[in-house]
Structure 1
């Protein structure tokens, strides 16, 4: 049974741990003020980070997000869920033994997965009752250069298979969101569009408004 599908959507900020810690936390604070609804720590750790350094940054992010009651997910490294304030995990591909992972975590957690143009991911996510699917990449983007460009037709076919909430990601701006109006999705996942903005607060607010306006026209 899905845990929180009704509340999943909006602006999903993916945090880059490769940034300077103080800068990252400052930009996170602004983004939270702007209306971010979900957070993820991208699996882009500095080579110098050991387990303790990862845990310290995660706890700092959890602390910053706690006042807003915003869930924080970890990219790939599901082992970090144990004994932390993390709310879930985002997989880049279908994990080898999801049942064993669930058993080892020993608590409920939010789980999402990236999908490009392969509908086998959609079928797996539906079968395993994941909480959301993130399509990567809708447009070319330096942050997600490892992703294929997703055809809008893929998103439409996926919606015929499942009612799991969809996020769209990759090169999406508040201005080009209107081009995706024919697709059924719950939110957008963003990295550089917010973290590299002159004002992360204003950028997040712009994404939030664009989503609200788009939904009002559907």
Structure 2
């Protein structure tokens, strides 16, 4: 498995799918290195619709050798043979998930809770993610992350660290004193008229 780093694009399937597939392809061309399908489906969507969408995303991503994860729904990840799952919290059935997704990517949102960082390290997860670094309308369920939580994380774990929530090229420099592997983005790329260029702008600021 290649190193987990760079731009982690979160896809919102509540957006029009044809347009989203096109924007995903452009973003991958721009240099996105990890994809996650957010568990935010339109109400009328069937299980078969979800499977078709996941397979379409995976087909595009395979061209660029980019892993595709799904948010929370590990059973759907298993059905679609996706590359893993991102968990918003520690599930009761974690051992079952780990057994079902053997050798796959498993990430966890940790927020300001040190015990979650230690749990992720102890259970040898693939990465941890902080949400939300800045206020953001698309991640309004996350608490704002304390800067000291990010600083402490590097002392507690050697896992890759991703930062998310309201990050744009203008405020990215405010994160330069932290140690992390990448950033997760939704609207900063998907709402752009040129997703490929948006990704490249983020990557230039990351460097």
Q: Same fold (TM over 0.5)?
A: yes
Other structure's SS at 1:134 match: strand
Distance 1:202 1:173 in 2: 13
- Residue 168 of structure 1 corresponds to 163
Report the CA distance shift for 1:26/1:106 in structure 2 as closer, same or farther (over 3 A): closer
Question: Out of 45, 50, 55, which is 2:46 matched to?
Answer: 50
User: Unmatched 5+ residue regions in structure 2?
Assistant: none
Q: Deviations over 1:155-202 (max 9, x none)?
A: 111111101110000010112111111110000000001000121111
Question: Out of 174, 178, 181, which is 1:186 matched to?
Answer: 181
TM-score, normalising length from structure 1? 0.92
Distance 1:160 1:27 in 2: 37
Residue 120 (structure 1) aligned with residue 111 (structure 2): no
Report the CA distance shift for 1:106/1:177 in structure 2 as closer, same or farther (over 3 A): closer
Residue 152 (structure 1) aligned with residue 147 (structure 2): yes
- Residue 25 of structure 1 corresponds to 21
Residue 70 (structure 1) aligned with residue 66 (structure 2): yes
Count of aligned pairs: 207
Q: More displaced, 92-101 or 181-190?
A: 92-101
- RMSD of aligned residue pairs (Cα, Å): 1.1
Q: By how many angstroms is 1:82 displaced?
A: 2.0
- Residue 198 of structure 1 corresponds to 193
Distance 2:122 2:205 in 1: 32
Distance 1:17 1:82 in 2: 18
